[in-house]
Amino acid sequence: MTRQLHFNLFVHGRGHHEAAWRHPAATTQSLTDITYYQDLARRAEAALFDAIFFADALAISHEVEHNARGGLEPLTTLAALAGVTERLGLIATASTTYTEPFNLARQFASLDHISNGRVGWNIVTSWVTGAGPNFGYDHQIEHAERYERATEFVEVVSKLWDSWADDAVLDDRAAGRYADPTRIRRIDHVGRWHKVRGPLNISRPPQGRPVFVQAGSSTTGRRFAAAHAEAIFTAHLEKASAVAFYRDIKDQASALGRLPEEIVILPGISPVIGSTEAEAQRLDRELNELTVPAVGLEHLSNRFGGHDFSHLDLDAVLSVDDFPDPETVQAARSRTEVIISFVRRERPTLRALLHKLAGARGHLTVVGTPEQIANTIEDWFESGAADGFNVMPPILPYLFDVFADEVVPILQKRGLFRTRYEGRTLRDHYGLERPANRFFEQASPALEPA
């Protein structure tokens, strides 16, 4: 079968541009109105997207005064979306740093059953400043430790999802046997960070386990992704770095004995689309003119672990000396490297940098006609920079509708994107195999009485 693009709709507030909520084309629905997200999910499914995706942050930032924040929690949102869609994949973010493995495994197993096998887990280590105190920590847990915790966390939840064989549930009314206890087992995990007996108290998910999604692009994050991820969300402002990232991940995965096609790499793209290039540029200017510099500075500060940039002149040309060393940053280190590389290459003013980040926080922003957007997507896809994209509309739902109605058909005519769903699960959409059960390929000890 000819290789084809994968698309996720990444939902973020009223759009990915930080000023989207102020633009007249943006929705006026509340960010706690579930019908808003259900409508977006239906639109994404009608456009034949692989999945809808929700990020998450475990603390509120000071920018809430000037930016639309305070949306619904992702896992419960997915449960509501599962009931109004049939094929669309459903991906939620959940933290390995501030969540218990048993609870997360149970929640995602439930979601995979509710959706008949359409769930993915975006594995994050929670870099946001302020998250720690919300969970009883008086400091931010360091970058290296967060990934150590994440590695063990993934091991524990994977064992829990495998603690039931696929045929453990008999549901034999005549014999009076609901389940076969020889096909359910404890995991008895004892590690540095977690001690979990198991088994899980819900049967194995339809997909075996949720699709593993990951977004870290630091050196540590890449190693973790090459070992565990099945889909990777990544941020690149230019194609060359995306090609290098793509090749590095696939090479690392191969070295670990994985097939490169077992990992789908999806950079973010935020398309500002107009019927003409001038119209698209005008819309981009409108959005940037609605920004509040304090919001952009807050975003930038968060990316650099709370570093204060307020002393810099908005119209002064930046240099890398204006930023802390990325190796000292305990937040999202991969994004800090993207920002510093851009500053080194382009030498923007602080105002220009804030506008660049306002659209998609360090992801690729493309301004142009539907044909130009499609050309960029095809170029990255054919150049070995991407297997598809996390589509991040600057204004929701307006610019998603334009993308679905005007960009997708161009890609379909070029044979680059599906014209119908071939499968029903998220694994089907991504072309991923259902994982084998580590415990029940051979005889396993039975469940012991509690």
- For 266, the enclosing helix (H) or strand (E) is strand 264-273
Instruction: Tell me, yes or no, whether 218 lies in a domain.
Output: yes
188: left (phi over 0), alpha (psi -120 to 50) or beta: left
Burial 67-93 (b: 16+ CB within 10 A, else e): bbeebbebbebbbebbeebebbbbbbb
d(CA 163, CA 189): 12
pLDDT of residue 335: 67
CB of 331 within 8 A of CB of 128?
yes
d(CA 391, CA 52): 9
Token couple for 218? 């630091």
d(CA 307, CA 100): 30
CA-closest candidate to residue 122, choices 10, 220, 42, 27: 10
- Rounded to the nearest angstrom, the gap between the alpha carbon of residue 358 and the centroid of all alpha carbons in its chain is 19
129: left (phi over 0), alpha (psi -120 to 50) or beta: beta
Total domain count for the chain?
A: 1
d(CA 388, CA 36): 25
Annotated binding site: 56, 93, 143, 147, 217-218
CB of 17 within 8 A of CB of 270?
yes
Cis before residue 199, ω within 30 degrees of 0? yes
SS3 for 117? Answer: coil
d(CA 252, CA 221): 12
Burial 354-368 (b: 16+ CB within 10 A, else e): bbbbbbbbbbbbbbb
Segments forming the whole domain that contains residue 420? 6-277+364-430
Give the CA angle between residues 41, 201, 176 to the nearest 5°: 115
**Residue ranges for the chain with pLDDT beneath 70:** 1, 61-63, 127, 129, 328-335, 442-450
Residues 6+ apart with CB under 8 A from 190: none
d(CA 112, CA 91): 10
Instruction: Tell me, yes or no, whether 355 lies in a domain.
Output: no
Q: Where do we find the tokens 């359409």? A: 118
SS3 for 237? Answer: coil
pLDDT of residue 443: 45
Looking at residue 74, which CATH number applies to its domain?
3.20.20.30
Q: Which residues pair with 93 in a beta bridge?
A: 122
pLDDT of residue 450: 42
CB of 85 within 8 A of CB of 42?
yes
Give the CA angle between residues 249, 250, 255 to the nearest 5°: 95
Instruction: Tell me, yes or no, whether 29 lies in a domain.
Output: yes
CB of 385 within 8 A of CB of 364?
no
Residues 6+ apart with CB under 8 A from 138: 132
- Rounded to the nearest angstrom, the gap between the alpha carbon of residue 368 and the centroid of all alpha carbons in its chain is 25
Residues 6+ apart with CB under 8 A from 241: 338, 341
Token couple for 226? 């090459």
pLDDT of residue 167: 96
Annotated binding site for FMN: 56, 93, 143, 147, 217-218
pLDDT of residue 268: 96
Token couple for 40? 């977006």
Q: What is the DSSP letter of 327?
A: G
pLDDT of residue 179: 97
